[in-house]
Structure 1
Amino acid sequence: MPSVLRTLYACLALFLSSVTLFLSAWIVVPAPTLALLPLGVATPELSPWLIGFNAIACLLASLGMRRSWLQRLAVLLGLVGLGLSMLPLLQLPLASQRNNDELQANFGASYEQVSQQLDRQAAQSTKGDLERPRSQPFILQQVFTGIPASPVRYDPNIPFAKPDGVQLSIDIYRPPQVGRYPALVVIYGGAWRGGSPLANAVFSRYMAARGYTVFAIDYRHAPQHPFPAQLEDVRTALAFVREHATEYEADGDRMALLGRSAGGHLAMLAAYQSDALPIRAVVSYYGPFNLTAGYADPPEPDPIDVRAALRAFLGGTPTEKPALYRQASPATYVSRLLPPTLLVHGRRDHLVEVKFAQGMYQRLRSVGSPVALLELPWAEHSFDEVFQGLGSQVTLYYVERFLAWALR
């Protein structure tokens, strides 16, 4: 190969290795800005793809009998990227086992029986009217092919309220067969300032295909509508679900709330304050717990400016509105036996740090409330936006079993 071509080839190899290393670095480097946060979220979840890209970069860089220093540098960068991209897969088996032990220890023999029943259903060779549950916490192939979608019945934009002239609606997902199913109310995130019921629609379809009537609800947004507008809207939506349960084939006596981020916060508030509605379980994906503590101790780096989000939500600082911050914090209501709670959190979360989830977990345990905390060592905030990713697959497996235990 002529020297000019060898140099061009080496430069190309170095470029490819640099790109794959840059992407792999976000598995361990926290995103400093909102614009870079998607890299911090997606790269750990799609790390098997990066393993392949880094391996290809190393292979291309190592080709040739006479390797230049550029090629040797490209090989080195590729190997570093390969090592970084392997970290989530190396962490996954121990994390999955730890989470399995956590649920069995905290929810007892009845949970273990339900889990074993779902495992038997997953192993069946024929399908019934409903899709079988996941057979294992993680399936490598699905990172590349996606989690198979199943047909469900979908009713979008069902209006349920119009407070302050803001039209609020519900998207409803039902199993393909007519029946009567547990109700799962899903609340989206967005720092209380944005979002829609369309968020995480693939998850809602997934759960409907496995035997739930899923209600993806809307609420008003800050700062135009500060707290408690959001909680009022969630309560109005729950009353609508209760009133129309029969119409939408839902069992109003078997209802669970599930939310992400701000939605997880609202799910906990609604579940912990409600004695009138039979909330049987609550699932919070990386939701805030103690807003006063979160304001006093923001993450570093802080890609969304947590303090600004809280000021917009509550109309001031904890010093200015201490009572409102207490009223808006789920931790405030942990003084009695509460519905079973599943907390889902990434240890690399730089919006709501995992230490707050650990504190909430201990607080719930101290009053005897059934609770488990699923921790994912590699995961950032909103990790399950990548539906086929490592974290989403693992949590789907355990959320399925938790809800089946709590509702069936």
Structure 2
Amino acid sequence: MNLLPTSVALCLCLLAVFGFLLSLWIVIPAPTEWLLPLAVGAPELSPWLLGLNLLVMVLSFLGCQLLGWQQMGWLRLSLGLSLVAVIWSAVPLVQLPGVIDHANLVMQRSLGADYAWKIPHQVVSKLRSQPFQFQTAFTGIAIPTGRETLGIEFAAPDHQPLKLDVYHPDDVGLYPAIVVIYGGAWQRGSPSQNQPFSRYMANQGYTVVAVSYRHAPRFHFPAQLEDIQAALGFIHDHAIALEIDTQRLALMGWSAGAHLAMLAAYQPSTFPVQAVVSYYGPVDLAKGYYDLPKPDPMGAQAILRTFIGGSPPEFPLAFQQASPIHWVRSQLPPTLLVYGGHDHVVEARFGQHLSEELQAAGNTTVFLEIPWAEHAFDAVFNGPSNQLALYYTERFLAWALKPGT
């Protein structure tokens, strides 16, 4: 047998195996924490995976045609694996049109059929034009670097310096503000964690303030909430210097940071907040402690015990007070909830329950579920999930923080 066709067939087979194994994580959950990045990243890299799998499939098919179907077993194996991988890697892209239609309907139903017309024209011109652009998955989302003020200390509880980073629009002035709070199981992270988002939104005309807080296990709840409240107090006291219009301020967070954003926004007698955005934030800690995802790659119970200091039977009041759903009442700020339908850290059904409770109390809420997305889907900033989330997030914030709100 000619060694050249055999070598080519082996290379194609290796590429097929590679594409097959990566695409597999689009449809199956990660059983352990160290495999979780694969389950997070694979759906967001689906355009790349689809291209790779299609290329291998076509080349394998042509090879079989040229060399004979009976001669090249490696090529037949490559063709079979790449065909299955093409189907898996196409899953997010096939679902996209239906998800976009549903998200548009939810936005109009929640904010009003004419909500888009209430967004100032000068803001609309800066918004993304489409919920998903295929080429953007390859070229990336433009994130210009503007004026930044990093490492401002706003408090030092228990001799722990807490700092914030500020991302400004190009021109000096007073702007609506987004206070962003990083995730990390309440145990790790820093204000720079969501820097691409902060820079992107600053370029959209917001002053973005990324804040820090004390971490578990050294500090248990409510230390983290107190730190977010201290940051809000600092922001209000220094609003002019920070270039912030305090009458147009939103809180936004990811995972544990989303939990703190909701918790701070829903507290009575706190600083006024006009909107809150939660990306896959925990909402009912006691229920989440017992009603675990399957599989449970992060070990939810251990994370919650570390955050609170023990289990629900040991600290029932703390679990209750640390749950945003406990603070639901009327006249809360509008809330955007974005969850992944394939999330095995904070399941989307918890966000759906919070949305129902908020609506029942007469509040404005938008619940968006991205069916293929895992926890932390926005780690791939130009992936399908984050493109969708960013499109609706910037419209929600433009609607909620428009002048006169």
Q: 1:212, 1:296 → 2: CA distance? A: 40
| Residue type of the alignment partner of 2:344 | H
C-alpha deviation, 1:89, in angstroms: 0.6
C-alpha deviation, 1:6, in angstroms: 3.4
Q: 1:248, 1:65 → 2: CA distance? A: 69
Q: Which residue of 2 aligns with 1:59?
A: 58
Question: Where does 1:182-331 land on structure 2 (aligned, <5 Å)?
Answer: 182-331=176-325
Q: Among the aligned pairs, what percent are the same residue? A: 50
CA contact (8 A) 1:289 1:329 kept: yes
- Among candidates 83, 86, 96, match of residue 82 of structure 1: 86
CA contact (8 A) 1:292 1:326 kept: yes
Larger mean CA deviation between 224-233 and 12-21 belongs to 12-21
| CA 361–118 in structure 1, closer or farther in 2 if over 3 Å, else same | farther
CA contact (8 A) 2:264 2:270 kept: no
Q: 1:197, 1:53 → 2: CA distance? A: 36
Q: 1:154, 1:12 → 2: CA distance? A: 47
C-alpha deviation, 1:33, in angstroms: 1.2
Provide the secondary structure at the position in 2 that maps to 1:104. helix
- Among candidates 350, 360, 375, match of residue 366 of structure 1: 360
Q: 1:59, 1:110 → 2: CA distance? A: 47
Provide the secondary structure at the position in 1 that maps to 2:297. coil
| Residue type of the alignment partner of 2:12 | A
Q: 2:287, 2:228 → 1: CA distance? A: 24
Q: 2:301, 2:321 → 1: CA distance? A: 17
Q: 1:88, 1:336 → 2: CA distance? A: 37
1:393 paired with 2:393, answer: no
CA contact (8 A) 1:118 1:133 kept: no
| Residue type of the alignment partner of 1:32 | P
CA contact (8 A) 1:339 1:370 kept: yes
Q: 2:3, 2:67 → 1: CA distance? A: 16
CA contact (8 A) 1:110 1:405 kept: no
Q: 1:115, 1:293 → 2: CA distance? A: 38
Q: Which residue of 2 aligns with 1:126?
A: none
CA contact (8 A) 1:118 1:401 kept: no
| Residue type of the alignment partner of 2:42 | T
| Residue type of the alignment partner of 2:141 | I
Q: 2:314, 2:58 → 1: CA distance? A: 60
| CA 59–118 in structure 1, closer or farther in 2 if over 3 Å, else same | farther
Q: 2:372, 2:200 → 1: CA distance? A: 24
| Residue type of the alignment partner of 1:300 | K
Q: 1:356, 1:24 → 2: CA distance? A: 27
Q: Which residue of 2 aligns with 1:125?
A: none
List, as ranges, runs of 4+ consecutive aligned residues in structure 1 with deviation greater than 6 Å.
none
- Superposition TM-score, scaled by structure 1 size: 0.95
Alpha-carbon deviations, 1:1-42, whole Å to 9, x = none?
x34443333222221111101000100110111111111111
CA contact (8 A) 1:217 1:234 kept: yes
Provide the secondary structure at the position in 2 that maps to 1:293. helix
- Superposition TM-score, scaled by structure 2 size: 0.95
Q: Which residue of 2 aligns with 1:135?
A: 129
Q: 1:264, 1:83 → 2: CA distance? A: 34
1:29 paired with 2:28, answer: yes
Alpha-carbon deviations, 1:71-94, whole Å to 9, x = none?
112101101001111110111111
Extract unaligned runs of 5+ from structure 1. 123-131
C-alpha deviation, 1:110, in angstroms: 5.1
Q: Which residue of 1 aligns with 2:336?
A: 342
Q: 1:110, 1:242 → 2: CA distance? A: 32
